[in-house]
Every structure is written in C-alpha cells, then in structure tokens.
Amino acid sequence: MNMKLSFFDRLAGGSSASDAFDSFDEELPTATIPVRKGEREHAIEGVHRPAPLDDDVSSAGEGQLPVDVHQTANEIIVRAFVAGVRPDELNISISRDMVEIEGSRMERGQIAGPDYFTRELFWGSFSRTIMLPQEVDVDAATAGAKDGLLTIVLPKLDKKRQTKLRVKAG
C-alpha cells in the first residue's frame, strides 16, 4: 500500500529523495465566516460610531504621558505633548538620573455622556517618570512649552572633565 506522507512529514524529511511530490493532493476545506447583515452594511459604509462612554472617565485612574527622549552631543532632550495643560498645572522634578513630569488636563466644559459620538481625549491627572541614560546637570536644565509641546533640555554632566583643587594652608 502506497501511503502519502503529510506535509509536515515531508518537511521534516520523512519522504525519500525519489518522491517528486511538489504540490498538495488534498485541498483543505475553506471556511466561510458568517457576517451579520448589519455588520456587512456597516463595513461597506465605512461608518463607525462607538457607543458613548461613561461620564466618569477620570475614575479610570492616572494616565501615563507619552514622551520622546533623545540626545545630542551635550544634552538629553525630553519632549511631550501637553496640549490643553496650563504651565501652572505642570510639575517637573529633575534629579541627576531621572525626570518626573506630573500634571492634569481638566475638561473646561461639561458635556453629557449621551451627547458624545466619540470620546478619545484623556482628561485628568497624568504622570511620567523617565530614567535617564546619563547623569545631567540639574541646575542648568530648562523647560519650555510652545504650541502644546513641552521640551525639557538637560545638559549632560561631563564625567571626563577634571579640575585641580588647591589646598589652602590654614
């Protein structure tokens, strides 16, 4: 009896080199996925309206602020979008090896939950702690915000720099 080896057996080397078996003899059955009538029409129109969210979005907890961190030869630069946040609502703490950004974005007007069609913006408090890849000069650091983009410039400490101290006689 001549048995055909499965695809996996042939792949694993279970067939002899004399077998000229390059294609599948058996066709696998194709499965169709049933689509409900409403979903098909919805997909064709390309219209998607998510259900309105709960009124109390802030109860979900504290948000995490997305950031970009890059370096130049002399500085580490941290950038974050803080659109809708006033400078007095931001708190930035810097140590030699870490930056912490905290703040809150408050919704200025009250809109009822059922009046929303889409609600994706984050409202409430947020924070982010960034471990720095190199020590920075805390005293020379600067921060500024323009067009909703927070930029923190952190000068790197030069560990190779040396200074000579004179001993005072006393």
| H or E element in which residue 11 lies | helix 7-11
CATH match for 63-155 among 1.20.120.1200, 3.90.550.10, 2.60.40.790, 3.30.1300.10:
2.60.40.790
Residue 112's nearest CA partner among 59, 50, 53, 55 is 55
Region 32-49: mean pLDDT is 48
Band the pLDDT of 16: cuts 50, 70, 90.
low
Q: Which of 43-47, 113-117, 160-164 has the highest mean pLDDT?
A: 113-117
- Amino acid present at 56: D
What is the per-residue pLDDT across 62-103, written as a single tens digit (0 to 9) for each?
Answer: 788 899 999 999 999 999 999 888 888 899 999 999 999 999
DSSP state of 108: S
Task: Say whether pLDDT at 17 is over 60.
Answer: no
A 10 A CB-CB count for 126 gives 20
Residue 49 has pLDDT above 90, yes or no: no
pLDDT for 146-165, tens place per residue? 999 999 999 999 777 767 77
Domain boundaries, the chain: 63-155
User: In this predicted structure, what is the pLDDT of residue 109?
Assistant: 76
Q: How far is CA 44 from CA 33, 39, 118, 154, in A?
A: 16, 9, 20, 51
Alpha helices in 33-168 (DSSP H): 37-45
What 43-48 contacts at long range (C-beta under 8 Å, 24+ apart), as own/partner pairs, is: none
Span between the terminal Cα atoms of the chain, in Å: 106
